[in-house]
Structure 1
């Protein structure tokens, strides 16, 4: 939790100060570079950690960089402190083999699916409740979330998950899950209002679950289903699983209204927002005119939530979208999350400086270090410089952020060299972050900044 707090402070500071690749020296630079504007072009729709994503699988119908899956807790938890991670490892490795990162959730109770409750808890006599709702017809059961054995199990699992997987480059985001139908932190209609019974745990249990997540994860970004008094001050983002359907105000249960009511409408600046485009509208929202019976304005939903990613499996299933509908869906996917562009660069034999702006809806949330390189006339990397530049926290619509680093071109043969910038993905074979510039090479990830001549 301390490192998470430090991360937030560092991200804010990074947006305000000049980053330096190597310590400055006392003597003046050998040349005096001039700023050169770099032209804008839309970034690729499959930039990492943003956009539309499908349920896990290989698809050719739509560009994507992340994949979604659920897992029942019973698949990995075999005892109070015993775990078999094979099911999770298989999913993560399969997704990573395609160069993608995973977004996932564990559940205890998924309507219509066999129970996700660990067998040892059932064997100990954990109270469960059958229900007919959501087409379940008694297949899954809702556990007694107040049972101390279950609460202890959840805390044990979260701690073990964090110890093993916090910072794993195969993971993009984790949604908290575990509690409620689908792991969505509600048991409607069994909420004490619609039905007299309330199957949700009290705030004491929810606070323990949230606290365990907060202490178990420092690097991997977490998302909760609903803003609440218990999570509003934590380093946890949110996911809206009824996006563009129950997103906009003024109904009290709509997502943005919940953000307003909890005073966290600006939390997206530090913590990510994700979710799912409501399944009923995934196939009709891109018609012109929109043919959905009920929906909300998609662009306004993005503008008010600053969402970075959304499950939209209809874009990938079967033949996906086509024609103008696909073009509109591609634009909608691109509109999510960050879009970083280098507005100008200054390149010399001993220093490289860039100005980076964000034309997107949200920041980039991970601290992926940038690197500089010199390419020869055949496009080969002949020298590389690591920097401490971070793209984390560069806010949309703000003034460009200045990054500057010393480079040492001594030792290069006489000639001209392209100086390039890249933000590599820590996932082996993962998609690099690409800038929204005409000089961006989308295959290699290198952004061409300018050239230097050595003598």
Structure 2
């Protein structure tokens, strides 16, 4: 018999072999019944953090909140970091039992306020300038400035040092240009001036890869554009571990063919990316019709959200206006069709050790560590990255126990108070 604390684990592709496998000598199947009756942490339909009334009304039907921030919200003078604006958002979301998705932007069409710290804006190598973007006067930083470039790298170093392990932060979105979405549509695109040079973008992306060890970071699918970015010319950049977000999800012609812009942009980065990084986005604002009908059961344009979510293995989708158009029940239903969904397919005990088999029945993995646990003792094997249809088996020795009194949970250090990872089980 294995010594107490000894464990073994194996990942297996698909199938329900656990239920039909005869237990090894001494192991007795243990009955377990459970269902997933709530939106799971780090998944679902996302609201902006300032949508107070909808957040209060939806409660646990929302698990993620979103906020934009400017770099100047955190840094004024050189080296003077004040994380108060970040802390306020993280703390408020956590108090509601939610986690945050954050994005810092340098350019926001129609906003004339300076988005970068004063010491960068006033440096000798930086020229203040405003341009017309989407027909509106807009501040755009001067990307010729090495002071600006050095600051941006330093900023994400400092951010990661403080928040890379913070359970209040689920995901980080990054990017340049309008809204941080990796484009400057209807604006004065000049690489190295109004938009970072491809050389600096490469430095930036490689820096993030080295800097963030725990928090998944994502880019807009617009980063596939060869005019704006270095991904076409520097193939190795596509091997970096970043996720994708699509901020015009489910517009009228979305995914009509593999050549359609959004579909082609997803395909450019490859289907395998979801194995390690989340897929997300925001419902299309191309028209009010899109927003009004995108969560109709049949979708806005003849395809349901569930169909699109499964195609792209969506973990989250920003839908801030959806409470205006859809009842809470439909928002919950759509949210529960995203991300991971675990089922315990084996539970057996020999009185000292416990075997647990878990299968992911969702459409995407979980992107933070989560462990099957027996009576509070965690397995050595994490469910992080377990693909849809794949299974994980663990054997954990917890000392003498009554099999009928086992308490099975899925635990994670990346949850905030009030959150719980559920599972399904039908073991008799």
Q: Normalising TM by the smaller chain, what interval? A: 0.7 to 0.9
Counterpart CA distance in 2 for 1:128 and 1:204 is 22
Deviation at 1:223? Answer: 0.7
Is 2:411 aligned against 1:424?
Answer: yes
- Match runs of 1:284-295 below 5 Å: 284-287=293-296, 290=299, 292=300
Query: Structure 1's 160 and 361: CA in aligned 2 closer, same or farther, altered over 3 A?
Result: same
Counterpart CA distance in 1 for 2:392 and 2:187 is 49
Structure 2 counterpart of 1:402, from 390, 393, 404? 393
Deviations 1:150-204 (A, max 9, x none): 1111111111111111111111000013x10111111112365xx9998322210
Check conservation: 2:378, 2:411, Cα contact below 8 A. no
Query: Structure 1's 14 and 214: CA in aligned 2 closer, same or farther, altered over 3 A?
Result: farther
Counterpart CA distance in 1 for 2:216 and 2:101 is 10
Q: Secondary structure at the match of 1:185?
A: coil
Deviations 1:5-56 (A, max 9, x none): xxxxxxxx96359xxxxxxxxxxx9982233575674x23421011111111
Q: Which residue of 2 aligns with 1:254?
A: 261
Counterpart CA distance in 1 for 2:24 and 2:217 is 46
Check conservation: 2:110, 2:133, Cα contact below 8 A. no
Deviations 1:223-275 (A, max 9, x none): 1113542541111111111111265253656333123234x211111211111
Deviations 1:286-305 (A, max 9, x none): 34665x4x686533322221
Uncovered stretches (5+) of structure 2, i.e. residues with no partner: 1-8, 14-22, 225-230
Q: Secondary structure at the match of 1:355?
A: strand
Q: Give the total of aligned pairs.
A: 388
Counterpart CA distance in 2 for 1:359 and 1:145 is 45
Check conservation: 1:352, 1:404, Cα contact below 8 A. yes
Deviation at 1:284? Answer: 1.5
Is 2:210 aligned against 1:212?
Answer: no
- Match runs of 1:97-108 below 5 Å: 97-108=95-106
Q: Which residue of 2 aligns with 1:15?
A: 11
Check conservation: 2:295, 2:305, Cα contact below 8 A. no
- Match runs of 1:214-229 below 5 Å: 214-226=209-221, 228=224, 229=231
TM-score (norm 2): 0.81
Check conservation: 2:64, 2:101, Cα contact below 8 A. yes
Deviation at 1:389? Answer: 3.0
Query: Structure 1's 67 and 243: CA in aligned 2 closer, same or farther, altered over 3 A?
Result: same
Is 2:196 aligned against 1:187?
Answer: no
Counterpart CA distance in 1 for 2:256 and 2:295 is 22
Q: Which residue of 2 aligns with 1:23?
A: none
Counterpart CA distance in 2 for 1:164 and 1:14 is 34
Q: Secondary structure at the match of 2:354?
A: strand
Deviations 1:190-219 (A, max 9, x none): 365xx9998322210111111221111101
Across the aligned residues of Structure 1 and Structure 2, the Cα RMSD in angstroms comes to 3.1
Q: Which residue of 1 aligns with 2:314?
A: 307
Q: Which residue of 2 aligns with 1:200?
A: 195
Query: Structure 1's 72 and 252: CA in aligned 2 closer, same or farther, altered over 3 A?
Result: farther
Deviations 1:304-337 (A, max 9, x none): 21110111112345xx623xxx544433221111
Structure 2 counterpart of 1:51, from 41, 44, 51? 44
Q: Secondary structure at the match of 2:93?
A: helix
Structure 2 counterpart of 1:81, from 55, 72, 79? 79
Structure 1 counterpart of 2:371, from 369, 372, 388? 369
Check conservation: 2:280, 2:314, Cα contact below 8 A. yes
Query: Structure 1's 339 and 401: CA in aligned 2 closer, same or farther, altered over 3 A?
Result: same
Counterpart CA distance in 2 for 1:197 and 1:76 is 24
Counterpart CA distance in 1 for 2:196 and 2:302 is 31
Check conservation: 1:249, 1:255, Cα contact below 8 A. no
Is 2:30 aligned against 1:32?
Answer: no
Q: Secondary structure at the match of 1:283?
A: helix
Q: Which residue of 2 aligns with 1:60?
A: 57
Query: Structure 1's 123 and 346: CA in aligned 2 closer, same or farther, altered over 3 A?
Result: same
Counterpart CA distance in 2 for 1:73 and 1:350 is 54
Structure of greater relative contact order (alpha carbons < 8 Å, 6+ residues apart): 2
Query: Structure 1's 348 and 282: CA in aligned 2 closer, same or farther, altered over 3 A?
Result: farther
Q: Which residue of 2 aligns with 1:9?
A: none
Q: Which residue of 2 aligns with 1:338?
A: 340
Q: Secondary structure at the match of 2:152?
A: helix
Counterpart CA distance in 1 for 2:211 and 2:191 is 35
TM-score (norm 1): 0.77
Deviation at 1:429? Answer: 1.0
Structure 1 counterpart of 2:142, from 141, 144, 160? 144
Deviations 1:111-154 (A, max 9, x none): 2333322222222262344334446x32x311222321211111
Q: Which residue of 2 aligns with 1:234?
A: 240
Bigger drift between 58-67 and 246-255 goes to 246-255
